[in-house]
Copies of this chain bind each other. A is one copy, B any other.
Amino acid sequence: MVKEIVLANAPTGFPVIELGKADSTFEIKEVELLELQDNQLLLQTIFVSNDPAQRGWIQKDQNSDRAYLPPILPGDRMRAASIAKVLKSTSSSFKEGTLVQCYGGWAEQLVVNAKDAFPLPDLPGVSPSVFLGAVGVPGLTAYFGLKDVCKLQEGQVIIISGAAGATGNVAVQLAKHVLKASKVIAIAGSDEKCQWLREIGADVALNYKSSSFPNALVEAAKPSYADCYFDNVGGPILNACLSVIKRNGCVAACGAISAYNDPSQMILSNWAEIIINRITVKGFIVMDYYHRRAEAVEVISSAIKEGKLSVVGGETIVRCTEFKEIPKVWIRLFRGENTGKLVTQVAD
């Protein structure tokens, strides 16, 4: 028998993380592993990815028609990207002992079909957890968001919120050092995060919790306003940014973490700016670009090798001593406690 964590009660507001309560969002389950069939792998989970999007996947009463992935229902194992070690293999493509990427979820061990596991890209000298962050979904999101959604050009001004997060910090570095933005304005939630963002390439880094934030944002955007805004957070920060985007500028709507647990926070009193200044808001999901994954991995890997993209500081790895701690690490995402990619390590 092995442990996994399943959805117990689909939340509408802030998830209840403590296990064992009547309204707990999650619960622990013991499951029996099936014998391997042909072309299957027995995996030991090593690293589990924590992503704001996971909150959307468990939202109560979703219209499955409109979701981009099937909703996770009570009783289902929590979905998460992961890095796992192959313990047994009946596939000629994977040797025992190698590491793979997959959507293994919150499971100690699990059996997957070989076609649902992927070898790690070749990038020596980095922790395998990087394939959940800068060279994983968050990094791809940053790359395609800048390149295809913002269509960021050399010399332009860009604002990036959630800038100290997994996607944000890669976006800041790619915008400045690879796509050659003339000014990167980064927004984050602490002075320490802002200091780090300046070190990795932000021309200006603003703490949105500071009372001077709205004015500082206006000053930072002078003299020409911003060509685009890469929005990871929604809410009051999106609202503030609408008033400093250039005429005919754009918003890449990537995430809205500020409102995932309370959508009523999405008050956009500056909406008229979208009309008056002919702003285009483009929602996007990185899955739509997966057919171009190799292109993004190549650009990001090269940037790492050339020293243009630092993964030092861009990652917070939390080692769980007990499997049941996984939800407690995950919820830190929504408290703004982590810097860079938040990864949970469940085994060595």
**A259 contacts partner chain B, Cβ-Cβ < 8 Å:** yes
**A31 contacts partner chain B, Cβ-Cβ < 8 Å:** no
Interface residue stretch chosen among A2-10, A158-166, A250-258 = A250-258
Q: Which residues of B contact A269 (CB under 8 A)?
A: 259, 263-264, 266
**A272 contacts partner chain B, Cβ-Cβ < 8 Å:** yes
Query: Which A residues from 96 to 143 make CB contacts under 8 A with B?
Result: none
Are B275 and A254 in contact, with the CB atoms below 8 A?
yes
Shortest CB–CB separation between residue A140 and chain B, in angstroms?
16
Among B67, B234, B266, which residue has its beta carbon within 8 angstroms of that of A267? B266
Q: Which residues of B contact A254 (CB under 8 A)?
A: 275
Shortest CB–CB separation between residue A60 and chain B, in angstroms?
14
Among B264, B271, B278, B285, which residue has its beta carbon within 8 angstroms of that of A275? B285
Q: Which residues of B contact A67 (CB under 8 A)?
A: 276
Query: Which A residues from 272 to 299 make CB contacts under 8 A with B?
Result: 272-285, 288
User: What is the predominant secondary structure among interface residues of chain A facing chain B?
Assistant: loop
Q: Which residue of B lies closest to A277 (CB)?
A: B66
Interface hub of A259, A278, A283, A284 (most chain B Cβ within 10 A): A283
Q: Given A68-B276, A254-B275, A268–B266 Cβ distance below 8 Å?
A: yes
CA distance A288 to B276 in the complex (A): 11
Are A281 and B280 in contact, with the CB atoms below 8 A?
yes
Chain A interfacial positions (CB closer than 8 Å to B): 56, 63, 66-68, 234, 243, 247, 253-256, 259-260, 263-264, 266-285, 288
CB pairs A–B below 8 angstroms (6 shown): A274-B281, A276-B283, A279-B283, A280-B280, A281-B281, A281-B282
